Structure 1
Amino acid sequence: MHWRHILLLLCCFVLLPIAGCGDQPAPLKVDLSEREKVSPGSHQPVITYAYLPQFSHTVSFERHQRLVRYLSEATGLNIQQVFPETFHEHMLMLDQGKIDISYANPFVYSMTAEQSGARVFAKIIEVTGEAAFGGLIITRRDNPDIQTIADCRGKRWIAVDRFSAGGYLFGLGTFLDHGLRPEDFSQIVFAPGPGGKQESVILGIYAGRYDVGTVREGALELLADRIDLAQIRILARTPRYPGWNYAARPGLAKEVVDAVRAAMFALDYENPAHREILEKAALRGIIAAKPEDFDAVRDLIRRAGLH
């Protein structure tokens, strides 16, 4: 075949696909000047809510998930529960602005108010009907060496946490009232691990690893289905002090605190829907609080040399 014929055939093969493109739709012109506006409210900032980890994270979540959901719906705020691993981490996160609303014992509140300026705005009414609570000093019932508080001298003491109110501070105050100082114990141990510390103290006493333990009121009932509580003896009940409370981190907007406070105060125990929320959270109501309500706790902290 002549080379000119070959060249002509090659040109035809090359032009065929180009000719076929005539059936394709015309290019779509895009007008970049037309833009959809996004509403500023479509991405709400998260308001973090944390329960001091005295119990396991599972217990903390189950107790407060309905309350957190109620607060979100009542205020229109995006409130979400976060879970610090330890008491110290809870206090640090509050100081760093990672916790907006702190639900904590009066010991932790008093310390964070002094160190970082946390602002208390509410306190709870316990299931007992009082805005106060106490601690328990416990032993094994069959421990023959401990019959009175004086018998705790030289023994092994397990406490919840060095920042626990009912699980350490209140018990320490009772020991001081009876002439026992920390150095009078052969050992003071704080429950290890994240969360679940009240349970750990009770189990440590039940197993006989420690002689005496301190927990808050109501903690024993959490283990009623796991151990024989008849083997645990309440050696003493501590005096009762101002209870658990809500504090806002420094700098949290006043309108946010006002909205959360109003929603909390609107909870009515006589309302069946509200009662379910409150009982699940192991409280009976939420009322107003001011810093001076916790002066008795501050006095105990100073007397114990923990400030």
Structure 2
Amino acid sequence: MKNVRWIAAWMLLVLLCGCSDNESVVSVDMKKRETIDTRQSTPAITYAYLPQYAHSVSYDRHHLLIAYLRQKTGLNIKQVFPESFNEHMRMVSQGKIDISFTNPYVYVITAHRYGQKVFAQIVESYGNAAFRGQIICRTDNDAIRTLADCKGKRVIAVDMTSAGGFLYPMGYFFQHGIRREDFSELSFSPGPGGKQEKVVLAVYSGQFDVGLIREGSLNVVADKIDIGRIRVLATSDWYPAWVYSARADVAADVVAKIRQALFELDENNPEHRPILEKADFRKVIPATDRDMAPVGNLMKTLGIDWNG
């Protein structure tokens, strides 16, 4: 009982010491309540660059573009980073990617499987709305001097759904009477991201005899290896360049704002030039499914089923 009285006296003393004659008493009405909305006022629009290169390259190439699109459209656009080509497509199917920047091969697949809609296409840095694949080997590999020498060799490609790093070079092999079964081995670049670089490095190290890459990928690794030791054995035909597409249920006005902002990028505008140079393209132009027909036709030629 004495303890209780002592505690009560101590608390009273603290309260008395904490107040002064000059301080006003603040009355708080606990009956008045306000609900705070902790949700974001503007839901994020997710944007993904198909991970042909390392995530650091994807970010470096597109972070200025993302900032421009946010400012121009007023949309809360957020770049996300799938670990692989397959994960990118899976995230599209799950509604986790709204706007995709992909090769046209992946677009054709996601269009048939999930209703993806193309709305734009880039003009590459060299001025074409098209690009090519390449077949590479080491310059000192005396066993490979012609395309026919690739028969019986170990081949590595970027990914089963890579356009420049698989589909286009395989189309070139097909035109010259060489089929997949003619190789002693056909493997694909392992692990997440950076797949183009990994193919070049696998050939450079001698792990594989032949590599399939998109044209321009050698420049990405020029600071890592002596690319003079890599020989371009052959270059494929031209096929459609990379495209922008949206999931079927992305609001039409959202797609329209992003499409218009992309179309307004002008390499002669000093504010836009750094954005385009980083992204490694010249401009963005309209595109439809009709423009993607050469890719679909090549898939049919090679017996590739877009439904998986």
TM-score, normalised on structure 1? Answer: 0.91
Aligned CA distance change for structure 1 residues 124 and 14 (closer, same or farther; 3 Å): closer
1:23-79 CA-partner distances (Å, limit 9, x unpaired):
867672316446478699x62101000000000000000100000011011111110
Unaligned runs of 5+ in 2: none
**Percent of matched pairs sharing the same residue:** 49
Distance 1:117 1:26, change over 3 A: same
Residue from 53, 64, 67 that aligns with 1:66: 64
3-state SS in 2 of match to 1:284:
strand
Aligned to 1:95: 93
Alignment partner, residue 131 of structure 1: 129
- Could you say which residue in structure 1 is the equivalent of 2:251? 253
Find the residue that maps to 2:231 and give its secondary structure: strand
Q: Do residues 159 (structure 1) and 157 (structure 2) align?
A: yes
1:107·1:165 contact (CA, 8 Å) conserved in 2?
yes
Alignment-derived partner of residue 195 in structure 1: 193
Equivalent residue for 1:104, pick from 58, 83, 102 = 102
TM-superposition CA deviations, 1:227-280 (whole Å, max 9, x none): 111110000010010110000012000010001011111111100110100110
For the 8 Å contact 1:166–1:215, the answer to whether it is kept is yes
1:243 to 241, 244, 260: 241
For residues 103-130 of structure 1, give each alpha carbon's deviation from its aligned partner in whole angstroms, at most 9, with x where no partner exists.
0001000000000000000000000111
Alignment partner, residue 4 of structure 1: none
Distance 1:211 1:27 in 2: 81
- Per-residue CA deviation, residues 164-217 of structure 1 (Å, 9 max, x unaligned), is 000000011001011111111000010001001000000111111111111001
Partner residue, 2:202: 204
**Out of 163, 169, 182, which is 1:171 matched to?**
169
Q: Which has the larger radius of gyration?
A: 1
CA spacing shift, 1:36–1:302, aligned 2, 3 Å: same
Query: C-alpha separation between the residues in 1 aligned to 2:151 and 2:189?
Result: 20
Write the letter of the residue equivalent to 1:109.
Y
Which aligned pairs between 1:1-307 and structure 2 lie closer than 5 A?
28-30=27-29, 32-33=31-32, 35=34, 43-307=41-305
In 2, Cα distance between equivalents of 1:18 and 1:152: 89
Q: Distance in 1 between matches of 2:78 and 2:45?
A: 6
Q: Residue 69 and residue 19 in structure 1: after superposition, are their counterparts in 2 closer, same or farther (change >3 A)?
A: closer
In structure 1, C-alpha distance between the alignment counterparts of 2:298 and 2:255, rounded to whole Å:
29
For 1:202 and 1:163, locate their aligned partners in 2 and report how far apart those are by CA, in whole Å.
Answer: 18
- Cα 1:114/1:27, change in 2 over 3 Å: same
Which deviates further from its counterpart, 147-156 or 18-27? Answer: 18-27
Give, as a single letter, the amino acid of the residue that structure 2 aligns with 1:190: F
Find the aligned partners of 2:169 and 2:112 in 1 and give their Cα distance: 22
Distance 1:15 1:205, change over 3 A: closer
SS at match of 2:267: coil
Return the alpha-carbon distance in structure 2 between the equivalents of residues 186 and 130 of structure 1: 35
Number of aligned residue pairs: give it.
Answer: 298
In 2, Cα distance between equivalents of 1:156 and 1:16: 88
Deviation at 1:19, TM superposition (A): 7.8
Contact 1:48 1:82 in 2 (8 A): yes
Partner of 1:5: none
Letter in 2 for 1:222: V
Partner Cα distance (1:148, 1:160) in 2 = 22
Please provide the CA RMSD for this pair. 2.4
- Gap change, CA 1:31 and 1:232, over 3 Å in 2: same
AA aligned opposite 1:226? K
- Mapped partners of 2:127, 2:77: distance in 1: 27
- Quick one: distance in 1 between partners of 2:161 and 2:216? 18
Q: Distance in 2 between matches of 1:136 and 1:18?
A: 82
Secondary structure of residue in 2 paired with 1:272: coil
Give 2:28's aligned amino acid: K
Counterpart secondary structure, 1:97: coil
Which secondary structure state, in structure 1, belongs to the residue aligned with residue 145 of structure 2? coil
